[in-house]
Amino acid sequence: MVPQESFSHLLEVGVLWNGEAVALNFARIPRYTKTYQLQSAGRIKMKFGAIIFATDKSIQPIELATEIEGRGLDSFFVPEHTHIPTDTSSPFFPDGKVPDMYLRTYDPFVVLGACAAVTEKISLGTGICLVSQRHPITLAKEVATVDRLSNGRFIFGIGAGWNQPEVENHGVPFAKRWAVTRERILAMKQIWTEEEPEFHGDYVNFDKMWSYPKPIQKGGPPIWIGSNSKYVPDRIAEYADGWIPIGGRPGGGTVEGVKEACSKRGRNYEDLTLAYFMAPLEEKLIRNHMEEGYSHFVFALPSEGRDQVLPVLDTIEKIANNIRS
């Protein structure tokens, strides 16, 4: 288990850890009622979903997606790591050991495309996609393809990465990863919405081109930022549609900051989604967080086989049904 003091760094960059370990720790984190007073819970339909590190050793995602939809839940998310460098000197690996699930993650877009073929209702999302590690022209097509295969059910959860050697293996300076991510998102929005997009920035540069398919969702799928830093309000207001303050921890960002940033850009703050990833498996705590403004709760599943995963999914279903009743 990662020491509690390490979680603040892991959360800021959007990394997701072992489901059981995170849930146990976050259940003890104090609530931030004033900080996260977003919207009246009574006016919002609560949604419930699950996330797993899908690997060659875990329950297979196609089976899991059908189990999630069969239980009447709303969403299924998968994270990613393109690879893990053998240099484990990162402070996020204090003992030099890397969780096996980090090494073995499936590609999220291949997984979600397959899951789109066996489901009809649930949202399918990245939780999160490391945009700093993917070429924007290729990524724009991957996102649009999954959105079309799912008939407009894709949610694009994004982050910039936390593992410095991993990010830099992709040719991106670690200190510039969010600047690179920003330009790549803006460039992808051009690709999704224009017939002959072009983009000329500091990190992304292409002349007019043709790129299809376009996403089904107008303007592209909703973009949720997984980050807890002080810079997140401006990032959300500029190019995102939702916030994943993972584990409900505010970090340096605040809802008041997001409101102010949205106001400056003429955006309607109440159109944003506040999603609680790594939600605690306790109904009382979920109800408390509903009052704080969260409208989408995503519970972590262990990266294990069906015998370990399905009982947790049963608990999630029970919580969701109790709250909806």
Using the predicted structure, report yes or no on whether residue 43 has a pLDDT greater than 70. no
Least confident range from 81-95, 159-173, 214-228, 261-275: namely 81-95
Mean pLDDT of 170-192: 98
Using the predicted structure, report yes or no on whether residue 211 has a pLDDT greater than 80. yes
For the stretch 91-137, pLDDT in tens is: 778 788 889 999 999 999 999 999 999 999 999 999 999 999 999 99
pLDDT of residue 45: 86
At residue 293 the predicted structure's pLDDT band, cuts being 50, 70 and 90, is: confident
Angle (nearest 5°) at CA 272 between 266 and 273: 175
DSSP assignment, residue 41? G
Q: What is the pTM of this model?
A: 0.87
At residue 231 the predicted structure's pLDDT band, cuts being 50, 70 and 90, is: very high
At residue 44 the predicted structure's pLDDT band, cuts being 50, 70 and 90, is: low
**Mean pLDDT over the full length of the chain:** 87
pLDDT of residue 229: 87
At residue 90 the predicted structure's pLDDT band, cuts being 50, 70 and 90, is: confident
Higher pLDDT, 187 or 253: 187
At residue 272 the predicted structure's pLDDT band, cuts being 50, 70 and 90, is: very high
At residue 219 the predicted structure's pLDDT band, cuts being 50, 70 and 90, is: very high
pLDDT of residue 250: 55
Residue among 144, 178, 137 at smallest CA distance from 158: 178
19: Cβ–Cβ under 8 A, 6 or more apart, which residues? 51, 52, 278, 299, 300, 301, 302, 303, 312
Mean pLDDT of 166-182: 97
pLDDT of residue 256: 85
- pLDDT over 70 percentage in the chain: 85
Pair of tokens at residue 140: 């724009």
Domain 4-324 has CATH 3.20.20.30: yes
At residue 150 the predicted structure's pLDDT band, cuts being 50, 70 and 90, is: very high
CA–CA dist 299, 316 (Å, integer) = 7
Which H or E run includes 188? Answer: helix 177-193
CA–CA dist 171, 209 (Å, integer) = 24
| Domain spans in the chain, listed from the N-terminal domain onward | 4-324
pLDDT of residue 139: 98
Alpha-carbon distance values, 121 to 28, 47, 147, 257 (Å): 33, 12, 13, 34
